[in-house]
Amino acid sequence: MLLPHEFEDGRKLKQDANFRPDIIARVFKLKLDQLIEDIYKNKIFGRPLAYAYAIEFQKRGLPHAHILLSMHRKDKPQSLEIIDDIILAEIPEEGEELRKIILEHNMHKPYGHLDPNSPCNYSDKL
């Protein structure tokens, strides 16, 4: 995530998200709240009975949430086909901008001693 190079007060900032965890946390919370509202109030998956979530931070400091939903019996997916209609995990076709973004940011690669230069490694420099 890149941040604006300058804010209104003229201060120059580094454009790496690691240097503004306050903004990252705020934006993440806004997006998470919207997702919970879509799930619970707008019922995008059907009628939820309850939900719980836990927020964790990746090695590079970026947040993510694990969300558990308890759905009304009639709205629970009853087959693998229905689950496949809800969940989609694929890499877009060649030439699409989204493909480039996914391959660069969402593909897990070796890290640790297998790849000391991996961005997933802890760094003393952050």
| Confidence (pLDDT) at 114 | 82
Answer for the pair 63, 54: CB distance below 8 angstroms, yes or no. Answer: no
DSSP secondary-structure letter at 62? -
pTM given for the model: 0.63
Q: Say whether pLDDT at 125 is over 50.
A: no
One-letter amino acid identity for 16?
D
Structure tokens at 111: 């890290």
Helix or strand or coil: residue 53? strand
Q: Say whether pLDDT at 5 is over 60.
A: no
Each residue of 66-108: pLDDT tens digit? Answer: 999 999 999 999 999 988 888 878 888 888 888 888 888 777 7
| CB burial readout 4-32, b (16+ within 10 A) else e | eeeeeeeeeeeeebeebeeebeeebeeeb
CA nearest to 71, candidates 46, 52, 53, 54: 46
Helix or strand or coil: residue 114? coil
Domain ranges of the chain: 1-77, 89-126
